Structure 1
Amino acid sequence: MNPELLELLVTRSMPYGKFKGRLLADLPGHYLAWFAREGFPAGQLGQLLAIMHELDHNNLRALLDPLRRG
């Protein structure tokens, strides 16, 4: 896995939808699961949401804690 993608999870915000403006790393699990069922968007955003879904589904969100800025 590309470490730069993990960094983006804690710095990039959701650009649209119900959780617009929320960091990707802070999106709720049910929202990520909805994308997993319905299909992730194309491009890097979809890739990031898929990674975040895997982290959430496997209870690994804490792995992102060291990457969060102060």
Structure 2
Amino acid sequence: MLSGNKAALIELAKYKMPFGKYKDQYLVDIPEYYYTWFKQKGFPKGKLGNMMQQMYDIKINGLEELIYTIRREF
């Protein structure tokens, strides 16, 4: 794994939602349906939107445990 990808995964694992219903919760702890709604309506622009898109992809592929492991170890 490239070091840039590693840093991005660590950041994704530790990132918390900055607004709304799930404010201050880790992105990985937010239910999949929330990401599905954003997928249909459009993710926010910028870094948060990119991270939410990545988390959507992780969740629909059942890879949350990878993010939990990264969060525990880093």
TM-score range (shorter-chain normalised) is 0.7 to 0.9
Quote the residue 1:8 is aligned against: 11
How many residues in Structure 1 have an aligned counterpart in Structure 2? 70
State the alpha-carbon separation in 2 of the partners of residues 45 and 25 from structure 1.
Answer: 13
Instruction: Give 1:8 deviation, angstroms.
Output: 1.7
With normalisation by structure 1, the TM-score equals 0.87
Aligned to 2:33: 30
Aligned residue for 2:72, secondary structure, equals coil
Q: Which structure's CA Rg is the greater one?
A: 2
Structure 2 unaligned regions, length at least 5 = none
Q: Percent identity?
A: 37
Partner AA of 2:29 in structure 1: D
**Where in structure 1 do 4 or more consecutive aligned residues deviate above 6 Å?**
none
TM-score by length of 2: 0.83
| Structure with higher helix content | 2
**C-alpha displacement of 1:9:** 2.0
Within 5 Å, give how 1:1-70 maps onto structure 2. 2-69=5-72
